[in-house]
Amino acid sequence: METPKKIIIKGLVQGIGFRSFIHYYALKYDISGYVRNCPDGCVEVAGKGEESNLNKFIEHISMGPPGAHITEINISDLKDNSINFERFRIIR
């Protein structure tokens, strides 16, 4: 079963193309959901897809793009049923 995940990425993760980097891998692994910058400087991702694809997606985004410096990643099951998982989008 596809359990949506919430991923919070902390560190130097804004202003370096991180959301586009995540969007690329979401499309590559057929992940639906969103990515957005948070006011506190972290990046939040909600993702849903086949378990093996979701694991590969998380593995890739955990490395970050060039210029990123990730200090912490928190992954949890997402229980918010109001999220539209029809496609992956970057929230501005």
Which residues are known to be catalytic? 19, 37
Question: DSSP secondary structure string, 31-71?
Answer: -EEEEEE-TTS-EEEEEES-HHHHHHHHHHHTT-STT-EEE
Nearest residue to 74 via CA among 1, 5, 2:
5
